[in-house]
A and B are shown apart, each in its own frame.
Chain A
């Protein structure tokens, strides 16, 4: 009886640890993915703004291209990029509704090709590392 209980006990611990480990792994995986995505959002946003877009159309554009982005992340980011001088914006009234349109500033246009180059070299470097 004693041995039996003990075995059950050990089994329980093993199961618990395996389950717990799995949860941790999933959590870590999601965190890393989140970090990776966070890193590419700026470039993705800039790449879509060579033509004027308002917030919702930009989100739709990004989603259509496969990048899901949270509303709460996008608008503060657009403001930040504008304050950094990479974007410029203006309000326009369309079908009785004011909309804020964002577009690359001159500085943003100059910077974007360099950022693309940088991105390509990162991709090449990682491809080499991961192969």
Chain B
């Protein structure tokens, strides 16, 4: 294989398979022309030295290959500001959760210096892992949204001709109208639904306490750390149903982002989802033991039966309140959706003097 072949194949392996052979053939032909011309003008023979000279001028293979490719990105300029906003919300939340878990653990155990050090290092490791995993998931979600939205706004017709979808200044007056889908709101919903699916399906034990942190300090053995999950089997029974609702919510949100506006079908679908959520939350209210913790396990952890009882009743109250909040919020949403469907705002008349 001569130098030109090596160079051409270096460019080719960076090109999409579809056009590779054609572009390779073209570059090879151009380089041969260049060599011949250079040899004639300088009087030098066509040898490795002259080939090196010509290849250097033609450019590095990666640069040449890149010039044939369109700009590609995971998260484009349209979504990047929203991505940054979400990251700015998610990361402090992770830090707060990590800090809270350290405080809870320390309050449960005797706070010697080594306890403090263990709890702190454990929290740091947890924080780093959560941060990396959260960032990865966020990038994944945004990359999917970017991919879905790619053709929205720009349509490719015929021979790859790019045609901008016409922007209507009347859309400015519609911004606050109920039919407009709010990009930030939908993306936040997609992110939280996705996070809920991941956490409750794959890491249900992440939500819990570590009553045995003391033993780390005593034995120096990290494997002795065991979580007592907060969520009971009775709660986990509901996870498949909740997952279905979250998945359908993501599906609906992506659809809405593509459509840009609400219509009767999407509203009815959303109302259906909200009603299912209300039914699930209501039936969960009737379950006596959504929390896996018992007063006994808590008392063993804290070492104070009275405090354990108060804490236990507090946790159970919080779960109930959370469920009631879900029911109330979702009910308000249902009423809002029904109201907006029934009392539709009339379409705007054409703007005076608007010339196309």
Contacts and interface: CB of A to CB of B under 8 A. Distances in A.
Nearest to A85: B159
Contact of A100 (B29, B34, B58): B29
A56 B58 CA distance: 12
A55 B68 contact: no
B30 A75 contact: yes
A71 B34 CA distance: 10
Given A56-B34, A72-B59, A84-B160, A99 B67 contact: no
Nearest to A56: B33
- Majority DSSP secondary structure for residues of A touching B: helix
B161 A55 contact: no
**B contact patch SS:** helix
Given A72-B58, A72-B64, A83 B30 contact: no
Interface residues of A, number: 18
B53 interface: no
Interface in B50-102: 57-59, 63-64, 67-68
A98 interface: yes
Nearest to A55: B30
B67 A76 contact: yes
A118 B71 CA distance: 29
B29 A98 contact: yes
Given A72-B63, A73-B67, A76-B67, A55 B33 contact: yes
Interface string B17-46: 001000101110110111001000000000
Interface residues of B, number: 22
A93 B188 CA distance: 59
A98 B30 CA distance: 10
Contacts of B67: 72-73, 75-76
A84 B161 contact: yes
B29 to A, nearest CB: 5
A99 to B, nearest CB: 5
Contacts of B30: 55-56, 71, 75
A75 B67 CA distance: 9
A97 interface: yes
Nearest to B60: A72
A38 interface: no
Contacts of A98: 25, 29
A97 B32 contact: yes
Interface in A69-126: 71-73, 75-76, 79, 83-85, 91, 97-100
Contacts of B27: 75
A56 B28 CA distance: 12
Given A75-B30, A98-B25, A99-B29, A56 B64 contact: no
B37 A56 contact: yes
Contacts of B57: 71
Contacts of A55: 26, 29-30, 33
Contacts of A91: 25
Interface of B: 19, 23, 25-27, 29-30, 32-34, 37, 57-59, 63-64, 67-68, 158-161
Given A75-B27, A100-B26, 5 more contacts: A72-B58, A72-B63, A76-B68, A97-B29, A99-B33
Q: Which 7 A-B pairs have the closest CB atoms?
A: A56-B33, A76-B67, A83-B160, A85-B159, A72-B67, A55-B30, A76-B68
26 contacts: A54-B29, A55-B26, A55-B29, A55-B33, A56-B33, A56-B37, A60-B37, A71-B57, A71-B58, A71-B59, A72-B58, A72-B67, A75-B26, A75-B67, A76-B68, A79-B23, A83-B159, A84-B161, A85-B158, A85-B159, A85-B161, A97-B33, A98-B25, A98-B29, A99-B29, A100-B29
Interface of A: 54-56, 60, 71-73, 75-76, 79, 83-85, 91, 97-100
